[in-house]
Amino acid sequence: MLTHNLGHPRIGARRELKKACENYWTGKISQHELLQTAQQLRKANWKLQKEAGLDLIPVNDFSFYDQVLDMSLMLGAIPPRYQVLQEQGVSATDLYFAMARGYQKDGLDLVAMEMTKWFDTNYHYIVPEFYQNQTFKRCSTKVLDEYREAKSMGIPAKPVLIGPVSYLLLGKEKDKDFDKLELLSSLLPVYLELLRGLEKEDVEWVQLDEPFLALDLEDKEKRAFEYAYQVIRQTFPKLKILLATYFEGIAHNLQLASSLPVCALHLDLVRAPEQLEKVINYLPEQMSLSLGVVDGRNIWKNNYESSLKLIRLAVEKLGKERVFIAPSCSLLHVPYDLELETEENSALHEVKQWLAFARQKLDETVILKELADGNTSEEVDRKFQENQQAVESRKTSELIHNQFVKDRVKAYEQAHANRKSTFTSRKAQQQASLKLSLFPTTTIGSFPQTQEVRSWRRQFKKGQLTAAQYDQLIEEETEKAIRWQEEIGIDVLVHGEFERNDMVEYFGEQLLGFVFTQNAWVQSYGSRCVKPPIIFGDVYRPEPMTVRWTSFAQRLTNKYVKGMLTGPVTILQWSFVRDDQPRSETCLQIAYAIRDEVQDLEKNGIKIIQIDEPAIREGLPLLRKDWDHYLNWAVTAFRVSAAGVEDDTQIHTHMCYSEFNDIIEHIAAMDADVISIETSRSQMELLDAFADFDYPNEIGPGVYDIHSPRVPTTEEMTALLKKAADVLPASQLWVNPDCGLKTRAWEETKQALIKMVEAAGRMRELVSKPAV
């Protein structure tokens, strides 16, 4: 039995890589220093994994920015617009960063390559660009260099590459009327060249990641797999290829997977433990099986007993020689080391006993092998006992389990998810009570979080400001925002969210069942890292969370101030979620907590309440067959959070970066009175889904992009609104930006919103005096 790891986090225990990259970009350190930091990080990772006792250690899992971008360079898939940099002799490192981040220098303005989410994770990769008749050539020897580097240190290294089929499927065609899979035959020779280089170095195992093998595949994609692996096998009859799948099971592609001429297949047994038996029965004689039993996507301790059941099943059928033990996927998606959480008197301290981060997961992998191998030494036995105790205490701990919350969720009934009346009736009541004009204007919630506002929060946390002082500063800032919105004539105001650090953290900090870490960073994209909250227990809201600030703002004005909440699905999606109950159940618990908040806002005179759900679409399962199940519980959770109010209280929701076409009926089923969406970048194209569906409720299609400081013109926004009014009745439309404004500066925000209000005014004129 061999143990291995599929990939290790590369940002460094203290985010050293982030800091080095950012310092390099701003010219504070030299390229040499950057490369040195990178080398130290690689070495530290290898050493760590070797000491943990792994048999095979991944190399080429390091990346300055993204492993898909690394592949694009190794394969020479460099979009034509960057050629000028190569001609000018810009260094390989700078070319790489230019592709990732764009290049604005020396009169050049090259846009960055697109970035998108890596499957269902919160990691973002750089999307390869493909052109018809594109050729490939080896432009970087990264994998060879890193393999040599590791070998020279005596590391039992296993190079990792994204497999050729997944690489193509991850990319996007930039020419019309051609299929990226047509490029496979010109792409493969470069793969062969890379593999030849590795073979010359006497490499034993090479890991090719083919996550697409776990997804829904079309016939032509299946053919591509067959072809690619045939060619690789024919060229290298002796090279041992480990084909890695993850994030889903492969049972639905089993025939294909087991027909591929590779030496080993890796399965994600955390996502899909039920696939094991089927796969074992199907596995050809010469193929080994790598069991991904340690969760690479979440931060919970492994349950040794359950993992051992799977391992023993495999060993029994296949024999020890054909079984590998590993994390379920690359550990890129979990934080570095639990031991870095040192604060003794934090809530996390008590929860730590149930957690394992990347470093701990290495140990778990090795211990599982020892246990499966029948090692009965005192140490191994002690670790097993400890594990059992942790598992047991998690089942019963009062920290985790709250009977009130459990009973409440159990007592869920359809009525909790339904508003009192239908939308048509609510709309009439809301019109009568709110008396808003046509094309009402509003914003999505946050106003600029200036350095100053952030510094108050920092000072408050450090004790340099008292609570009273901090509150006063936030009050002043809120009041300024209210006055200013009144002045420019916005119809539905917001308080500005100045008191919030982050739209999930702010709520998590006030809910029971959440803990926060000090150092548990995971890479989101490039040098950007996030520190997701950990939902470890039943979720309960001990006290109102937003009433203080919302009603403060409401008392300042006669206009409506919109209450602003984060929805249950988004809170779930952007956290590490407990794995001892279905996600749907945790989501429903959060939904009831938000429902309480919604009702408290209503009681305190707030007539319009927005529940943000920007993450609802990204929660979609990878396999189409699972969509309905997810959408049903996600939509139910949203409805439960919203439905506890009177008919004349208006519920808004907001979503950004969403493609709506294939989920529009579920969006409609959320039954929010008003939904605001991001539409400006697509020139209102995203609205078509709503028009085609005859979406009944009200909609605020974003009229300007908030991602850049550019101030749109009144004409532009009016034109977009006219487009919207062409496909939807005016009585359904709201006017708002694409998303919240917290990343913007006041200067551009003010100008843009003044013009937005103007654009709404023009629309009202147009509608009242229709052209004859």
Q: Which residues are part of the catalytic machinery?
A: 707
Q: How far is the CB of 685 from ligand GLN (least distance, A)?
A: 20
If the CB atoms of residues 347 and 530 are measured against ligand GLN, the closer one turns out to be: 530
Amino acid, single-letter form, for residue 648? D
Q: How far is the CB of 681 from Zn ion (least distance, A)?
A: 12
Partner touching 742 among Zn ion, ligand GLN, none, CB below 5 to 8 Å by kind: ligand GLN
Amino acid, single-letter form, for residue 515? V
If the CB atoms of residues 91 and 743 are measured against Zn ion, the closer one turns out to be: 743
What are the angstrom distances between the C-alpha of 103 and each of 73, 110, 112, 708, 749?
17, 5, 7, 16, 26
If the CB atoms of residues 128 and 619 are measured against ligand GLN, the closer one turns out to be: 619
If the CB atoms of residues 165 and 564 are measured against ligand GLN, the closer one turns out to be: 564
Partner touching 287 among Zn ion, ligand GLN, none, CB below 5 to 8 Å by kind: none
Partner touching 211 among Zn ion, ligand GLN, none, CB below 5 to 8 Å by kind: none
DSSP code per residue over 597-635 = HHHHHHHTT--EEEEE-TTTTTT--SSGGGHHHHHHHHH
Rounded Cα distance between 623 and 215, Å, is 6
Q: Count of residues for the chain?
A: 772
List the x/- string, 598-637, binding to Zn ion by CB under 5 A.
Answer: ----------------x-----------------------
Partner touching 563 among Zn ion, ligand GLN, none, CB below 5 to 8 Å by kind: none
- For residue 573 the two structure tokens come to 């999606």
Q: What is the 3-state secondary structure (H, E, C) of 552-574?
A: HHHHCCCCEEEEEEECHHHHHHC
Partner touching 419 among Zn ion, ligand GLN, none, CB below 5 to 8 Å by kind: none
Residues 328/250, Cβ–Cβ less than 8 Å: no
Q: How far is the CB of 455 from Zn ion (least distance, A)?
A: 25
Residues 491/442, Cβ–Cβ less than 8 Å: yes
- Contacts (Cβ under 8 Å, ≥6 apart) of 625: none
If the CB atoms of residues 445 and 526 are measured against ligand GLN, the closer one turns out to be: 445
Q: Is 756 exposed, middle or buried (0-12, 13-18, 19+ CB in 10 A)?
A: buried
For residue 84, the tally of other CB atoms under 10 A from its CB is 14
Site residues (CB under 6 A) for ligand GLN?
444-446, 503, 564, 612, 614, 654, 656, 739-740, 742
Q: How far is the CB of 6 from ligand GLN (least distance, A)?
A: 31
Residue pointed to by tokens 């390989």: 92
Q: How far is the CB of 441 from ligand GLN (least distance, A)?
A: 15
Partner touching 503 among ligand GLN, Zn ion, none, CB below 5 to 8 Å by kind: ligand GLN
Site for Zn ion, residues 312 to 341, rule: CB under 5 A? none
Instruction: Note whether 260 binds Zn ion by CB under 5 A.
Output: no
What are the angstrom distances between the C-alpha of 45 and each of 213, 409, 522, 728?
28, 43, 15, 56
Residue pointed to by tokens 């899909």: 272
Rounded Cα distance between 612 and 446, Å, is 12
Axis-axis angle for helices 142-152, 67-74 (nearest 10): 110
Q: Which residue is nearest to ligand GLN (CB)?
A: 740
The side-by-side arrangement of strands in the sheet containing 560-566 is 492-493, 560-566, 608-612, 650-655, 674-677, 698-701
Partner touching 564 among Zn ion, ligand GLN, none, CB below 5 to 8 Å by kind: ligand GLN
If the CB atoms of residues 187 and 655 are measured against ligand GLN, the closer one turns out to be: 655
Beta strand 57-59 with 103-105: parallel, antiparallel or unpaired? unpaired
Site for Zn ion, residues 730 to 769, rule: CB under 5 A? 739
Q: How far is the CB of 452 from ligand GLN (least distance, A)?
A: 18
Q: How far is the CB of 82 from ligand GLN (least distance, A)?
A: 31
Q: How far is the CB of 1 from ligand GLN (least distance, A)?
A: 45
If the CB atoms of residues 85 and 753 are measured against Zn ion, the closer one turns out to be: 753
Instruction: Note whether 675 binds Zn ion by CB under 5 A.
Output: no
Instruction: Note whether 564 binds Zn ion by CB under 5 A.
Output: no
Amino acid, single-letter form, for residue 52? A
If the CB atoms of residues 290 and 676 are measured against ligand GLN, the closer one turns out to be: 676
List the x/- string, 637-666, binding to Zn ion by CB under 5 A.
Answer: -------------------x----------
Rounded Cα distance between 87 and 681, Å, is 33
If the CB atoms of residues 134 and 749 are measured against ligand GLN, the closer one turns out to be: 749
Q: Is 202 exposed, middle or buried (0-12, 13-18, 19+ CB in 10 A)?
A: exposed
Q: How far is the CB of 741 from ligand GLN (least distance, A)?
A: 7
Sign for the pseudo-dihedral over CA of 184, 185, 190, 192: positive
Which residues make up the interface to Zn ion (CB under 5 A)?
614, 656, 739
